[in-house]
Chain A
Amino acid sequence: MKDLTELKKIEKYADQCMKCGFCSFFCPVYQEERVETAVARGKNYLVKLALKGEQEFTPEMGDIIGKCLLCKRCAANCPSKTQIDRVVVGARAQMVKDKGLGFIKNFAFRKVMSNRKAFGRYLKLAKAFQWMFPKTEGNIRHLPDFLKGLGHGRNIPTLAKTFLRDMVKPVYKPTNGEKPKMRVGFFMGCATDFIYPELGLKLIDFLTKRGIEVVVPEAQNCCGAAIYFSGDFETGRMLAEENIKAFKDVDYVVTACGTCSSTLKDYQKYLPDNEDQQKRYEAFEKKIKDSTEFVIDVMKIPPEDFKLRKEFEGKTATWHDPCHLIRYQNIKDQPRAILKALKGLKYVEMPNADMCCGMGGSFSVYHYDLTKKIADKKMAGIKATGADIVVTACPGCMINLIDNALRNKMTQKVYHFLELVE
């Protein structure tokens, strides 16, 4: 009998689908391709066949299951509440178990991304070749994607001169010299570490100015998003264990990356292999806070107390909802409350604010043409607002928004909400 452990775990989710097909309306990939294999209903049906032993893990099946942004728009709007994201990730995990990761992914996930030092080395190497590509103000998210996904004519972001982890101290005391209100672990995440170090420094500064002690454990690793969402649960689990260990002595773990916060929270959903892991991952989830929710829900800063930095005065801003915030963590009101309350800034809501930008992590490497088409719709929404700046809270989205704004010859600049405030 074939081993279907990973599929069995998601069988109950797959069974929820009643094939109504409403997902087609919400799926950014289906909206472009208009074929049934692109949409949740089709994917789910094939997974159900695989569970019955009527569908093999063919390369074609791999492509079908791979071609999902995991944006969760379908799941959020599903009348029968099918968690298709869990079905897709579970199916990927089963395929990785059966077939192993492809060479590129294998090399990238197991050898590079999960080894923080090697990751840094390869990035430096890549950095040395940056002159070959058009210079932009943006940045990139995942090194392996960078190595493999070079070209395609995209605007390749520059890497930071000095990585964040070479700049940070292990502990930052509150700047007012008082006894800390709480002790918070700062989770860097790859993008902030290697591409947006100033974002990390900004968050540390923001927190310590407000009486919080920030620790930056050196032992922290990649959150594992690209790894376990691709089905490599084994490496994912290894990263989970390392991160949990690295952050065991803090009240909260805060990150400026929407994907990281969501990924860390979701260890308990995807990765546990036994009850002990389930318990510990669930406990870890409770500590994780995205920067957007931390400042509002935990620090309880009234939105009107945020101060706009001078350079943004008189600007019009619009908010882009990262999938990992709005649908994975139900964070949508907090950033809007801040932006609306900032004196000197005008806020305009984007018609398709919750639409995926098309990045989807490694999705954009394998399906860059689709990414561009999906992003073009996002860009049309941004243009319709007449805003000067696009604000978000996920470096992954930022990279893609910058690339596509440039490609569409738009004047809008893209910022993390932390960059706007004092």
Chain B
Amino acid sequence: MLKESLVSEFQKIVGKENVLTTPEALKAYSYDGTTSWIHEPDCVVFPKSTQEISEIMKIANAEKIPVTPRGGGTNVSGGSVPWLGGVVLCTTKMNTIVKIDKENLTATVEPGVVLQDLNMRLAKEGLFFPPDPQSFLGATLGGIIAENAGGPACVKYGVTKQYILGLEIVLPDGRITNFGGRTLKNVVGYDLLHIFISSEGTLGIITKAELKLNPIPPAKKTIMAVYAEIAMAGESVFRVLENGVIPGKIELLDNWVINRIEEMMPMGLPKDADAVLLFECDGIPEAVEKETEKIVEITKKYGAVDVRVAKDVDEANKYWMARKAGFAAVFGKAPTVMAEDVTVPRGKIPEFIKRCRDLAKKYDVEMCILGHAGDGNLHPAILSDIKNKDLYERALKAMDGIIEAAVEFGGVLSGEHGIGLEKQKFFRRTVDPVAVELMMKIKALLDPNNIMNPGKIWD
């Protein structure tokens, strides 16, 4: 429990209405987008400025109170759950788009800006922020940067870290500092900027960000390729790329997911297909036409039994709606869903999928696969029930096998969700021990009192 006097200190800084302590409010800040990671904070503070955050951190550091930064709370790693209680520092009221610089294709934002709000505003200028975590309707930029989020557009556009030019940070001791800048190139000493991107809120609080933007491509085209064998879909991914076409997105849905989506919202997906790949090409119209032709040709050559090019925006939207519904389809189907975020080198996708399916059979669990095939980031999901002990244990074993396989194939534990609490138990097993030691030393250097989002990444 927090001392009463501290609560009133916080109230003095941010105003009474911006400190929540009622049991109901604390419960509402005990979770994120995961199923089972729940812990209540002692209070929730809503700062409105960098200065206020700095003052809060000074107090927290002196009193050694845990501080967990949180934005929209849409993350799926347990990252914004206040695992050791203390303060949830919620940035949702710092949601100003400070500046859009059309000449330099940059934007300056506060951490609480929601990605969709940003992109709607940018669209008026013909611009967009390419990293596209699928939680864009609720995810805030602070969290997106802290988790180094990515999404379908990664194939062509990359992930968040490629679009951050500079950050304003409040360190755990309350000092305000700046990393990076406003330029595309920047080789001035160590690249501290990228230590903070994907730090999951364990090193400091992002209070302002300088973003790199792209112009909106004038044309888009969606292609759906249908496969009788999921491994063939996996192969098509790298065949398309090695033939010189880099689509904006390549997404994969397996038979199980296709059928759940059809149950939820019938849209004419091929229910007997083992898998489908969704491609989106974007760019100048002529190039998009050519790329589309090429994709149709290559996917047909490498085993697609049917290839459909969306004839208009409505049909294209329908397919992407299906992809978006994927996760809901999965999560709605079992009390406990273990959704993995492993990423393998693209060439290994067919082998990896085969291994996943073998594991599902071996442990007799229901599994489905959907994900960003274009960048090797797959989300195999195991349907389970934490109350059914036998099933749950088998699911855990299958999950272990999946992660081991990903590492064996040269991949990583998490492509875009981060470690947080969810993937903690695999962390040391899959990361080089020297790297872990260095990370912990960096953490100790910046946060000697271990107050910033404690309990995350490593146990």
A residues adjacent to B (C-beta < 8 A): 16, 18-26, 34-37, 42, 45-46, 49, 55, 58, 60-61, 64, 79-81
Residue of B nearest to A54 (CB): B27
Collect the chain B residues with CB atoms within 8 Å of residue A42's CB: 28
Collect the chain B residues with CB atoms within 8 Å of residue A24's CB: 72, 114, 137-138
Collect the chain B residues with CB atoms within 8 Å of residue A36's CB: 25, 28-29, 73
Stretch of B55-63, B243-251, B320-328, B404-412 at the chain-chain interface? B320-328
Collect the chain A residues with CB atoms within 8 Å of residue B20's CB: 35
Q: In the complex, given contacts A19-B34, A46-B27, A58-B23, what are 5 additional A-B residue pairs having Cβ atoms less than 8 angstroms apart? A: A19-B32, A19-B35, A25-B114, A25-B138, A80-B332
Chain B at the A interface: mostly helix, strand, loop or mixed? loop
In the complex, B24 has a CB within 8 A of chain A: yes
Collect the chain A residues with CB atoms within 8 Å of residue B331's CB: 18, 80
Task: Kindly provide the distance from the CB of B156 to the nearest chain A CB, expressed in whole angstroms.
Answer: 25
B residues adjacent to A (C-beta < 8 A): 20, 22-25, 27-29, 31-35, 44, 46, 72-74, 90, 92-93, 95, 112, 114, 116, 135, 137-138, 264, 324-325, 327-328, 331-332
- Given the known inter-chain contacts A18-B328, A20-B138, A79-B328, please indicate yes or no for A46 contacting B28, CB distance below 8 A: yes
Are B327 and A79 touching (Cβ within 8 A)? yes
Residue of A nearest to B139 (CB): A21
Are B24 and A58 touching (Cβ within 8 A)? yes
Collect the chain A residues with CB atoms within 8 Å of residue B92's CB: 34-35
Are B28 and A25 touching (Cβ within 8 A)? no
Q: What separation, in Å, do the CA atoms of A400 and B23 have in the docked complex?
A: 34
Pull 20 A–B residue pairs with CB atoms less than 8 Å apart, ordered by A: A18-B33, A18-B327, A18-B331, A19-B31, A19-B35, A21-B138, A22-B135, A23-B138, A24-B137, A35-B28, A35-B90, A36-B25, A46-B24, A46-B28, A55-B27, A60-B23, A79-B327, A79-B328, A80-B328, A81-B328
Collect the chain B residues with CB atoms within 8 Å of residue A22's CB: 74, 135, 137-138
Are A61 and B24 touching (Cβ within 8 A)? yes
Task: Kindly provide the distance from the CB of A57 to the nearest chain B CB, expressed in whole angstroms.
Answer: 11
Collect the chain A residues with CB atoms within 8 Å of residue B35's CB: 18-19
Task: Kindly provide the distance from the CB of B262 to the nearest chain A CB, expressed in whole angstroms.
Answer: 15
Are A25 and B137 touching (Cβ within 8 A)? yes
Residue of A nearest to B38 (CB): A45
Are B74 and A64 touching (Cβ within 8 A)? no
Collect the chain B residues with CB atoms within 8 Å of residue A64's CB: 24
Task: Kindly provide the distance from the CB of A214 to the nearest chain B CB, expressed in whole angstroms.
Answer: 40
Are A21 and B332 touching (Cβ within 8 A)? no
Q: What separation, in Å, do the CA atoms of A22 and B325 have in the docked complex?
A: 12
Task: Kindly provide the distance from the CB of B141 to the nearest chain A CB, expressed in whole angstroms.
Answer: 14
Collect the chain B residues with CB atoms within 8 Å of residue A49's CB: 27
Which 10 A-B residue pairings sit nearest by Cβ, starting from the closest?
A79-B328, A25-B137, A21-B138, A42-B28, A18-B331, A36-B28, A34-B92, A21-B74, A22-B137, A80-B328
Task: Kindly provide the distance from the CB of A177 to the nearest chain B CB, expressed in whole angstroms.
Answer: 49
Collect the chain B residues with CB atoms within 8 Å of residue A19's CB: 31-35
Residue of B nearest to A37 (CB): B28
Are B25 and A79 touching (Cβ within 8 A)? no
Are A21 and B28 touching (Cβ within 8 A)? no
Task: Kindly provide the distance from the CB of B202 to the nearest chain A CB, expressed in whole angstroms.
Answer: 22
Q: What separation, in Å, do the CA atoms of A84 and B20 have in the docked complex?
A: 24
Are A37 and B72 touching (Cβ within 8 A)? no
Task: Kindly provide the distance from the CB of B88 to the nearest chain A CB, expressed in whole angstroms.
Answer: 10
Are A55 and B32 touching (Cβ within 8 A)? no
- Given the known inter-chain contacts A36-B73, A60-B22, A80-B328, please indicate yes or no for A45 contacting B31, CB distance below 8 A: yes
Q: What separation, in Å, do the CA atoms of A320 and B176 have in the docked complex?
A: 47
Collect the chain A residues with CB atoms within 8 Å of residue B332's CB: 16, 18, 80-81
Residue of B nearest to A25 (CB): B137
Q: What separation, in Å, do the CA atoms of A16 and B27 have in the docked complex?
A: 19
Q: What separation, in Å, do the CA atoms of A24 and B264 have in the docked complex?
A: 22
Task: Kindly provide the distance from the CB of A163 to the nearest chain B CB, expressed in whole angstroms.
Answer: 43
Q: What separation, in Å, do the CA atoms of A208 and B44 have in the docked complex?
A: 61
Are B24 and A60 touching (Cβ within 8 A)? yes
- Given the known inter-chain contacts A36-B29, A79-B324, please indicate yes or no for A25 contacting B116, CB distance below 8 A: yes
Q: What separation, in Å, do the CA atoms of A42 and B22 have in the docked complex?
A: 14
Are A37 and B25 touching (Cβ within 8 A)? yes
